[in-house]
Amino acid sequence: MNALLTPWTTEFGLPPFAAISDTDFAPAFDAALAEARAHIAAIAGQAEAPDFANTIEALELAEALLDRVSGVFYNLAGADSTEAREALQRDLAPKMSAFASEVTNNAALFGRIEALWQGRDGLGLSLEQLRVLTLYRQMFVRSGALLQGDQAARLTAVKSRLAVLGTKFSQNLLADERAWFMELSEADLEGLPDFVVASARTAGVEKGVAGPVVTLSRSLIVPFLQFSPRRALRQKAFEAWGLRGANGGATDNRGVAAEILALRAERAQLLGYASFADYKLEPEMAKTPAAVRELLMRVWAPAKRKAMADAAVLEAMLHADGIAGPLEPWDWRYYSEKRRLAEHDLDEAALKPYLSLDAMLAAQFDCANRLFGLEFRALDTPLYHADARAWEVTRRGAHVAVFIGDYFARGSKRSGAWCSAMRSQRKLGGEQSPIVVNVCNFAKGDPALLSYDDARTLFHEFGHALHQMLSNVTYGFISGTSVARDFVELPSQLYEHWLEVPEVLEKHARHWQSGAAMPADMLQRLLAAGTYDQGFATVEFIGSALVDLAFHEGAAPADPMQKQAEVLEAIGMPRAIRMRHATPHFAHVFSGDGYSSGYYSYMWSEVMDADAFAAFEEAGDAFDPEVAARLEQFILSAGGSEEPDQLYTKFRGKMPGVEPLLKGRGLLEEV
């Protein structure tokens, strides 16, 4: 029996991970695709005139089995990859793309949707139903439903090839990250805090090496760059980090990126758009490339001024160490950490014992309880990996969701941090509660100790999880994070603010051994340094966002690396700061269409999240129940049931300007 195809009798309908093998997935996908095709054919070919129930609601449920199988497979493929799963991903990419094209190219099916759309005023639809109908029609049209003949066939081929290339880009990047490591001698450990040494030794064991190593996992390489006094080793590690996806050979992503950009430009042209950026931004809040560029450049100028001033200070520190020449990218984090210690008396090695993973999990759960009444009960149930943990989420005794956390870096997991859903919330066809997954790449330890940035990442991903768990809509098509890309980061970035609330850290930031609270003076210094090095952080982000926009604004560049260099030269990118994500490892943009022309969305959402948290500050309480209730009603539970600017305005009364963002990053005085 294939466990993916039989009814699941597990608690809360969790996937029966222990009974699922890699060999189950391919036949399960075959069966699920066949069932979905049969359902789609029945909907398109029925004799009854189209109505909302027999067309839109039927489509909502047509791919239930495919959703279930995909929810398990793609989560495992990202968080716990195997050779078999990677091979199946490559095989599935064109198959899944072909199925999606079959659906949106189905003329009879689109005819039914179009008839409903044209007659929508007489259907008696609720606002949510009208929104769902609107989005279905938009999806079909933007997928090429109005194209015919050779154009339709070509668009199908383009989308299929893009799916293959996106998978290839991701797997090339994972292969490079997995393959590289730098062995360290005992002498090379000089100056490294105990937690970095411990992580390096653990990484050495994983790589099968007798001694410590540095890998390309952010949780290890960043603290190494912060603390290692050995400049040559910092340079070697930093350059390897920057060369992911650009090492030549079978895993080189530069040609992959060029082909992706060319095909995206062709896709936009087939659909009648001036550029891929125009196509991609049409349904977003920004709407146009010009609006995106205006925001980014509004923030770029003060951020660059701040970064250049900081660079001068750090370069003086470099010269004081007897090193001639300019400040280099592999120097920035090292001297910035020294400066942070000198100016704010903040030593990350002294800070981390107060930020254990368990303590920060308790903090994020406590904030969710105080804001939204959620309670979390640890579950003892088999999951897909021994590192993963699960909790039942309830409110006033009623089940809300299952939350899974997978927090430690390993070779089988792609880099970064993300939130996904193995099952999304919906009410159609019976109440379906979500199964939500947060994935991070923290260094494993006993206990696991986080940096403040790690803790911020934890809260960020949990903000996404709350968006999924508190979703309260009828239709899965608009549930949870199914919103505009430049709106989806609002809940996640907003939730980060509660990590900065003094009473939260006073309660939860406790020494993992003694249980003592973080000393008051340390807490004050930590919060006072909240905008430290924001010039650097903002510049490296905007550099990436502007390159992403330039890639998609006009004709596709034949050489993306040359285009990247031209964009950075035009804006005067500081020498000692690199893009946060260089083209060959810019997974946000090239592993799929999700953030293509959309990397700016983090900053677009930050404009709102700074203003949204100000609502709590204006109420005089970070946990004000009335503001929290509005936040849940209009943002967290609403999904994509209305246009995002309408939802935000209902929550806040108006759309914000850029000033709260500049203030939050400590850049306002630079304007």
**Which residues are catalytic, by number?**
461
Query: In this structure, are residues 139 and 104 in contact, taking their beta carbons and an 8 Å threshold?
Result: yes
For residue 644 the two structure tokens come to 């995002």
For residues 222 and 35, give the distance between their C-alpha atoms in angstroms, rounded to a whole number.
47
For residues 465 and 459, give the distance between their C-alpha atoms in angstroms, rounded to a whole number.
10
Exposure class string for 64-92: b at 16+ Cβ within 10 A, else e:
ebbbbbbbbbbbbbbbbbeeebbebbeeb
Residue 223 half-sphere exposure, CB side, CA atoms within 13 Å? 28
- CA-based R_g, the chain, Å: 25
For residues 18 and 663, give the distance between their C-alpha atoms in angstroms, rounded to a whole number.
50
Tell me the three state secondary structure of residue 336: helix
Strands in 327-482 per DSSP E: 374-379, 389-395, 398-408, 418-423, 435-442
Query: In this structure, are residues 641 and 473 in contact, taking their beta carbons and an 8 Å threshold?
Result: yes
For residue 188 the two structure tokens come to 């090379």
For residues 591 and 263, give the distance between their C-alpha atoms in angstroms, rounded to a whole number.
14
Long-range contacts of 238-241 (CB under 8 A, 24+ apart): 238/329, 238/330, 239/330, 240/180, 240/182, 240/216, 241/216
DSSP 131-152: HHHHHHHHHHHHTTTT--HHHH
Residue 237 half-sphere exposure, CB side, CA atoms within 13 Å? 30
Strand 435-442 vs strand 398-408: parallel, antiparallel, or unpaired?
parallel
For residue 447, what is the DSSP state?
S
Nearest C-alpha neighbor of 159 from the set 245, 60, 70, 268: 268
Instruction: Kindly tell me the burial class for residue 291, based on how many C-beta atoms sit within 10 Å of its own C-beta (0-12, 13-18, 19 or more).
Output: middle
For residues 564 and 572, give the distance between their C-alpha atoms in angstroms, rounded to a whole number.
12
Query: In this structure, are residues 167 and 78 in contact, taking their beta carbons and an 8 Å threshold?
Result: no
Nearest C-alpha neighbor of 143 from the set 95, 94, 120, 110: 110
